[in-house]
Each structure stands twice: as structure tokens, then as C-alpha cells.
Chains A and B, each alone.
Chain A
Amino acid sequence: DVKVTQSSRYLVKRTGEKVFLECVQDMDHENMFWYRQDPGLGLRLIYFSYDVKMKEKGDIPEGYSVSREKKERFSLILESASTNQTSMYLCASNPRGQITYEQYFGPGTRLTVT
């Protein structure tokens, strides 16, 4: 079974802190994605990556950056956390050439910025 794990289920950070959210998948997938989920807004794409060291902006990249140094790991970075970044963050992956086929999601990280 495909497994996508996220480093924390719950995280509380202070405004201005640098925050790292880690995502690891064990199925050798080329494509990885970061979404944020907010009530009434659905899933919005922040960044995605289709290969190591490659990254593409999604719909809401402002205030975020990403890192993909290894194929299995995709990190989301909040350089200076703000209260409007309080949200649920979901990571997903799928194999190359099928960027729009089934995406496998992690359980999510609920981030609270105070």
C-alpha cells in the first residue's frame, strides 16, 4: 500500500517563526504536492514538484517555499509564519506521467499560528 506520512499531526507555532512541514512517501512517486485545506474553501494547491529539485507554484504560493532534495521527501517551509497561515496542510503524491491520476494523501498537519 502507498503510504504518505507527514511529520506532525498537530503543530503550534508563534508568529514570525520559521516552520518546516515534512512529507515522506514510500512508493517511489515522482510527483508530490502540498495543499492547504480551509473550511468552505476546499483544497488549494500551494506548490508541487514533479522531480527532485524541481518545483512549480500552485494557486496560493505566497508566503511559502518548498524543498525537494530527495525523491521521497517534499518539505513545505513557512519562512515567517503568520496567523493567516493557520490551516490544515495536506501532502500528496502520485507517479510520473500520471500527474492527474490518483493522488495519495497523507493524514494532514493542523498548524496553528498564534
Chain B
Amino acid sequence: GENVEQHPSTLSVQEGDSAVIKCTYSDSASNYFPWYKQELGKGPQLIIDIRSNVGEKKDQRIAVTLNKTAKHFSLHITETQPEDSAVYFCAASKAWGNTPLVFGKGTRLSVIA
């Protein structure tokens, strides 16, 4: 089955700096890669996703890149703000195979003001 590795497990950045979180996946048939953000005391919430027919997607300060050949994808947050502090999860699945998401272990991001 699919296995998703996520690094780093913790990340501290100064406010205004960029943050990058990386994930690798094992199943070359996976074609849908979402990122979820979990704030303290809340359930995870989707912040951005990408499909395998796209190499990069951007939404304001966040962007995701996908390298299908290397089977890795990354989340980039620019101009970080204190409210970006949270736990971030990457995930992978075969969207057209009716299979559930497989999540990485998460990255705790701390933005220091």
C-alpha cells in the first residue's frame, strides 16, 4: 500500500521568512496530493491540493510543487505570520481508484514573532 513520509517533524521560522515542508510517496499510481492544516484544538482543514497532471499550484502565500518522477511534493509558505503556526499534514491517494487518503506524520510549524 501507499506510504507517505513527511519531513521535518518540527520547524521553527522567524516571522516573514519562508517555510518548506517535504513529503515523499511510494505508490506511483497516486495522483492526488492535499495538504491539511490543524490548529490547536481543531480538526485538520484542507489548505491546498494538487493533482498529478499539474506540477505547481499557488494560492496567495502558499504553494505546492509536485515531482512525479521523484515521487515527492512540497508545501511552500512565504512571508510567514504567527497565525501560520500549526501542524501541517500531507497526504496522497489514487483519486480515481476510490481509495482513502494516506497521511504523513505531520510537521509542527512555529512562527516566531
Contacts and interface: CB of A to CB of B under 8 A. Distances in A.
Given A40-B9, A90-B43, A103 B101 contact: yes
A90 B44 contact: yes
A99 interface: yes
A99 B103 contact: no
A107 B41 contact: yes
Interface residues on A, range: 20 to 34
Say whether chain B's binding surface is mostly helix, strand, loop, or mixed: loop
Say whether chain A's binding surface is mostly helix, strand, loop, or mixed: loop
Contacts of A48: 100
Contacts of A108: 42-43
Interface stretch (B13-21, B60-68, B91-99): B91-99
B46 interface: yes
B27 to A, nearest CB: 13
A4 B45 CA distance: 12
Contacts of B46: 102-103
B89 interface: yes
Interface of B: 1, 6, 9, 32, 34, 41-46, 49, 89, 93-95, 98-106
Interface of A: 4, 33, 40-45, 48, 50, 58-59, 90, 92, 99-103, 105-108
